[in-house]
Structure 1
Amino acid sequence: MKKTIGIIGGMGPLATVKLFEKIVLNTRADSDQDHPRTIIDSNTRIPDRTRNILSDGENPTNELIESARCLERAGADFLTMPCNTAHYFMEEVLKEVELPFIDMIKETVNTVKKEFGSSKVGIFSTDGTISSGVYTKVLQKEGIEYVLPSPQSQKAIMELIYNIKKGQYDNDLTRFFTAIDELHSQGVQTIILGCTELSVAADMYKFPDSVNYVDALVVLAREAIIGAGCDINS
């Protein structure tokens, strides 16, 4: 029996749209009925996750719980969430619902390990994701060596992320591409796109092919399709 996907969204809205799009595009289907039923709560009231982790920004946990409960009431069989940084808060959220949760962080690291072994990886994400250690802790547990961008490169990454959140899509990617070259020069062969706005950027712009990219949003979409009992496009 097929299951219904629940998406805790709104962080940001376009990243939420992109997850649903990737679920549709990655599903092998001959008709509407072959696709998974999907319930989306694009809760744009969820406070900024990075601001809470780094400073005195409002805690997003209560709104995340509200979205999880909303999806549970609506009939979702399991939860997904297209926001890497927000995974930092999910332990508390999941105490308030009875639904299982697909952990995008763990599944992304599993994909890295499966496809690229223990080769050195880079992490492109928000300051909040880096500070919280949601990726680095899992990579360390799996014995995968990682490299973080320099402060200057991290600033360029954050600028691109928040420009996309603002709806600014005509961006000069020179400094962002320099950040890629910087990690490549340190022996990085694979970069995790660990922010869903970077997943949006990967669809909008042509990234240099000097390294491999593991897009956390694509990983989540494919795991959601499997979880719903549907088939993945090869």
Structure 2
Amino acid sequence: MNAEMANYAPLSFNTTIFNNAKEIQSHVDTYIHGLHQEAEHLKQSKKELSDQSFKSGLLTYVPLGGKSDTHLLLLGGMGPLAGAHGMKECLSFLQDAYSVTLFQACFIPKRDSDHDVAWSLYEALHVAVQNCPKNKKIELIVVCNGAHHFIEDALKLFYQKSSHKNRDIRFHSLKASVEKKSRTFGRLKCIALQSNFAAQKGIYGNSQNIYSMDTIPPLSSYQKNLTLAIEGVKRFDKHTTLLNAIKVFHALMDYGAKRLLLGCAEIPIIIDSLKKEAPHDIQEYLSSVTLIDPLMLALQEMAEK
């Protein structure tokens, strides 16, 4: 790592490699449990929780006997639960087709901050690529919808400055995958559930029948509840998450929404909680609507190519 990057670099991070499918799944579950434990410890210490409260780390799975020359790199940590959830989705989807690395880059600033987010993403990409298998092509997915506002600049920095700029890397944009899928939506409106930052920057909405919730008059007042639910996941506050998510999904149900885009990496975690603990009418509603996960769209597109 060059001197220019030294002021931005994470001081240390753990690197773990697994070759057995059951062991990697078990490790991710243990890691998630550990995040919850660490969050409780931080709360007891009266410390405010954020993505940056947690350690960065690298987790790689290389299936024994795997012959593919392709490696999937997930850039996560924004927040850490979303990154771990994304890793579980990828492992389940790929079924040992590719090796996978998850880099939980928890040091990346909040996307709506005044910090240089693009530079931090570049730094994370540099470190992550450095730790990917040297003999494989890299398929890159960034597990944060809001980060897509900065990723083009981060990739430019990577190809200008990184000592790994000659690696064969193909970026799979969640935004581009959703826009491609939206061409098949027909006339049925799709409502994007996303953070305030993603909504303000137009990550999803108002194209090809995708509408951001904050632009729909009967639903716009519930954007604040959606934001609180997302922040509840990031702060490991289950009560706040469920309380606000139930309000949002009751509003969506009353509105008659039939197709929902999960436009924030915390939304699938919220959905899982609602399916287990929400009132029966919300659980029935969730079983009747189409839920579109950008990460799954990107994985499907990657598999097709």
TM bin (shorter chain): 0.7 to 0.9
Question: CA distance change for structure 1 residues 145 and 107 in 2, over 3 Å: closer, same or farther?
Answer: closer
Tell me, yes or no, if structure 1 residue 40 matches structure 2 residue 102: yes
Structure 2 CA distance for aligned equivalents of residues 223 and 170 of structure 1: 36
Give the one of 141, 162, 167 matched to 1:80.
141
Partner of 2:238 in structure 1?
A: 169
Percentage of identical aligned residues:
22
Structure 2 gaps, min length 5:
1-67, 160-164, 276-282
SS in 2 for 1:100: strand
- Once the two structures are superposed, residues 14-57 of structure 1 have per-residue CA deviations (whole angstroms, 9 ceiling, x without a partner) of 111111101111234xxxxx3421122111110001x23xxxx3
Tell me, yes or no, if structure 1 residue 62 matches structure 2 residue 123: no
Question: CA distance change for structure 1 residues 199 and 220 in 2, over 3 Å: closer, same or farther?
Answer: farther
SS in 2 for 1:4: strand
Give the one of 289, 296, 300 matched to 1:211.
289
The answer (yes or no) to whether the contact 2:229–2:244 under 8 Å persists in 1 is no
Matches within 5 A, 1:1-234: 1-28=68-95, 34-49=96-111, 51-52=112-113, 57-75=114-132, 77-95=138-156, 96-97=158-159, 98=165, 99-114=169-184, 116-136=185-205, 140=207, 143-149=208-214, 150-171=219-240, 173=242, 175-183=244-252, 185-186=254-255, 188-206=257-275, 207=283, 208-209=285-286, 211-224=289-302, 226=303
Amino acid at match of 2:92: L
Measured after TM superposition, the shift of residue 175 of structure 1 is: 4.3
Measured after TM superposition, the shift of residue 154 of structure 1 is: 0.5
Question: CA distance change for structure 1 residues 179 and 205 in 2, over 3 Å: closer, same or farther?
Answer: closer
TM-score, normalization: structure 1? 0.79
- Once the two structures are superposed, residues 44-73 of structure 1 have per-residue CA deviations (whole angstroms, 9 ceiling, x without a partner) of 110001x23xxxx32311110011112222
TM-score, normalization: structure 2? 0.62
Larger relative contact order, structure 1 or 2 (CA cutoff 8 Å, min sep 6): 1
Structure 2 CA distance for aligned equivalents of residues 172 and 148 of structure 1: 18
Question: CA distance change for structure 1 residues 112 and 12 in 2, over 3 Å: closer, same or farther?
Answer: same
Question: CA distance change for structure 1 residues 145 and 11 in 2, over 3 Å: closer, same or farther?
Answer: closer
Structure 1 gaps, min length 5:
29-33, 230-234
Structure 1 CA distance for aligned equivalents of residues 108 and 226 of structure 2: 22
Question: CA distance change for structure 1 residues 66 and 172 in 2, over 3 Å: closer, same or farther?
Answer: closer
Question: CA distance change for structure 1 residues 88 and 172 in 2, over 3 Å: closer, same or farther?
Answer: closer
- Greater C-alpha Rg: 2
Amino acid at match of 2:249: I
- Once the two structures are superposed, residues 85-131 of structure 1 have per-residue CA deviations (whole angstroms, 9 ceiling, x without a partner) of 110001101112352210012212333443x3342111111000000
